[in-house]
Amino acid sequence: MNFYVCIVILTVLLMIAMTLHVFRYSGFTKNQKTWYILTFLSIMVCSLAEYAVHCGYYDKSFKFILTVLTVIQFSLAPLLGVLFIGALGLKHQKKIAIGFIGINLFVEILSAPFGWIFYYTDEGYFRGEYFTIYMVFYFISLLYLIICMVIVGKKFSHRDMPTIIMVLVILVAGIIPMSFYRINVTYMAIAISSSVCYIYYNDLVQQDIQVAFTINQKRISSMQEHIISGLANLIENRDMETGEHITRTSRYVKTLAELARKEGLYVDKINDEFIDHLFVLAPLHDIGKILVSDTILKKPGKLTSEEYEEMKKHAALGGSVVREVLNGITDEEYLSFAEDIATYHHERWDGSGYPKGLKGEEIPLSARIMAIADVFDALISERCYKKAYPAEEAFKIISEESGSHFDSKLVDIFLKNKDLFL
């Protein structure tokens, strides 16, 4: 009997724990919380009623009270499946639950005085001649539960059927013993089954949320890439040379960043995400040029000081364009990364660059890498205002500008791997 007391206590404690979890969990709607709490409280009531009947301390003077408790228990027990399915979100459960409890309660109250389903004698509790009625209610409830769980399971399109079947097996294994055997640990089994089902289905919901989030992130990433590609094409349509330039510089920055990481340089900043961002966003480094007049952008000769000042504005304008276009479709980290490349790729290590005159490591690492790739490709490319430099001469110029224009550490790696940039 002490063992049975422990079983009842454990059942009640488990249901209290589950109820508290439902109260505290923010992922459920108010309606879902109500259904779950009703389910767990009903299991507690049935378990305590079962204990009161079979505790071994029967006194015939409590016959009426025990009869009332048994009527409540027998009315609630077949309802557990309906309550649980309501918690899982199937519609119209409120009407079905009222129908179940109404029919069960009516039959139990009607049968109680005649002992058709159960009765008490001086010796205690006994099953009635028509106890099968109660078993039929249980089977109907169980069948309804199985059908509904399959229906609900189909909502979770990203979870395989074996998991759904496993949940059903656990629940059925917890309920069937009550229909066939007089086992006083039945409600403990039901409590465990309900808890496991709750955990599994909560996991299904979370996995579907995660899958939906992942799909949404991919959609956003695709949108970002299309926007970046579209903006890059705008530049290319302005100047075919610049269009080829952005393709080559994307490859250069990725290669240089990978080499830097391999050499152990700036490993606190250069990771896979940094390299991916750098490669994808490099085409936006000259996006500000779409706001520069064709007269200046395509001038065949040297720019005047006034024209040069206008040209320099493309850096700050590029940062503004990037932020305006990408704002709202990406996170701040990604947005800032793109803005840094567009705004600061003309800053110089010695502080004499533009638009803000940043110096040394004040310049974002992405922009420092972009600066080397941008200048190198500009040197080896033919433009409307100049002939292309031979590659070796371009490497020499980059070397001479190390520590003044460029980050010397990055230049060292760049020059050590010349063949990768040809």
Q: Each residue of 150-162: pLDDT tens digit?
A: 777 676 655 556 6
Homologous superfamily of domain range 2-212:
Rhodopsin 7-helix transmembrane proteins (1.20.1070.10)
Which is more confidently placed, 200 or 375?
Answer: 375
Which is more confidently placed, 402 or 293?
Answer: 402
Which is more confidently placed, 305 or 298?
Answer: 305
Confidence of residue 301 (pLDDT cuts 50, 70, 90): confident
pLDDT exceeds 60 at position 163: no
The 3-state secondary structure of the chain reads CHHHHHHHHHHHHHHHHHHHHHHHCCCCCHHHHHHHHHHHHHHHHHHHHHHHHHCCCCCHHHHHHHHHHHHHHHHHHHHHHHHHHHHCCCCCHHHHHHHHHHHHHHHHHHHHHHCCCEEEECCEEEECCCHHHHHHHHHHHHHHHHHHHHHHHHHCCCCCHHHHHHHHHHHHHHHHHHHHCCCCCHHHHHHHHHHHHHHHHHHHHHHHHHHHHHHHHHHHHHHHHHHHHHHHHHHHHHCHHHHHHHHHHHHHHHHHHHHHHHCCCCCCCCCHHHHHHHHHHHHHCCHHHHHCCHHHHCCCCCCCHHHHHHHHHHHHHHHHHHHHHHECCECHHHHHHHHHHHHHCCCCCCCCCCCCCCCHHHCCHHHHHHHHHHHHHHHHCCECCECCCCHHHHHHHHHHCECCCECHHHHHHHHHCHHHHC
Which is more confidently placed, 171 or 3?
Answer: 3
Confidence of residue 8 (pLDDT cuts 50, 70, 90): confident
Mean pLDDT of the chain, nearest integer:
82
Question: What is the pLDDT, as a whole number, of residue 243?
Answer: 54
Average pLDDT over residues 246-259: 92
Quick check: do 2-212 and 239-421 share a fold? no
Question: What is the pLDDT, as a whole number, of residue 273?
Answer: 92
Per-residue pLDDT tens for 381-413? 887 767 889 999 999 999 999 999 999 999 999
Per-residue pLDDT tens for 352-389? 999 999 999 999 999 999 999 999 998 998 877 678 89
pLDDT exceeds 70 at position 185: no
Question: What is the pLDDT, as a whole number, of residue 175?
Answer: 59
Question: What is the pLDDT, as a whole number, of residue 97?
Answer: 82
pLDDT exceeds 70 at position 304: yes
Average pLDDT over residues 189-197: 72
pLDDT exceeds 70 at position 103: yes
**Catalytic residues, which ones?**
289
Average pLDDT over residues 31-51: 86
Q: Tokens 């003077």 map to which residue?
A: 61
Question: What is the pLDDT, as a whole number, of residue 419?
Answer: 93
Could you give the percent of the chain with pLDDT greater than 90? 26
Average pLDDT over residues 339-345: 95
Structural domain boundaries in the chain: 2-212, 239-421
- What span, in angstroms and rounded, lies between the C-alpha atoms of 38 and 294? 72
pLDDT exceeds 80 at position 188: no
Which is more confidently placed, 308 or 217?
Answer: 308
Which is more confidently placed, 338 or 125?
Answer: 338
- What span, in angstroms and rounded, lies between the C-alpha atoms of 374 and 397? 13
Q: Which of 140-149, 154-163, 213-222, 402-411 shows the lowest mean pLDDT across its residues?
A: 154-163
pLDDT exceeds 80 at position 236: no
Question: What is the pLDDT, as a whole number, of residue 333?
Answer: 87
pLDDT exceeds 80 at position 38: yes
Q: Indicate the fold that domain 239-421 takes in CATH.
A: Hypothetical protein af1432 (1.10.3210)
How many beta carbons lie within 10 A of that of residue 144, not counting itself?
16
